[in-house]
Amino acid sequence: MMTKFIDKETEDGAAQAMREYGVKRIPVDYFHVGGYRYTDMKDAIAQAKRTKKKS
């Protein structure tokens, strides 16, 4: 996974624009199963169970 670095000036400008336009940043958890990415843990577990049954 590649990490993106944002310089301080760009970050400050983005934060200002977010405040001005009411944009909110919300962290998201991802769950990875068999090369797929899920945002819902229940879906990831269901897929993992299906995968386990096949093997």
51 and 33 Cβ atoms separated by less than 8 Å = yes
> Residue 13 falls within a domain, yes or no?
no
CA distance 53 to 47: 10
> Residue 55 falls within a domain, yes or no?
yes
> Residue 17 falls within a domain, yes or no?
no
CA-based nearest residue to 35, from 22, 24, 51, 19: 51
Q: Which tens digit of pLDDT belongs to each residue from 9-50?
A: 677 888 888 999 999 989 999 999 999 999 999 999 999 999
Provide Rg for the chain, Cα atoms.
18
pLDDT of res. 54: 80
- Of residues 32 and 54, which shows the higher confidence score? 32
Q: How many domains does the chain have?
A: 1
pLDDT of res. 15: 87
pLDDT of res. 55: 73
> Residue 43 falls within a domain, yes or no?
yes
The domain in which residue 41 lies consists of 27-55
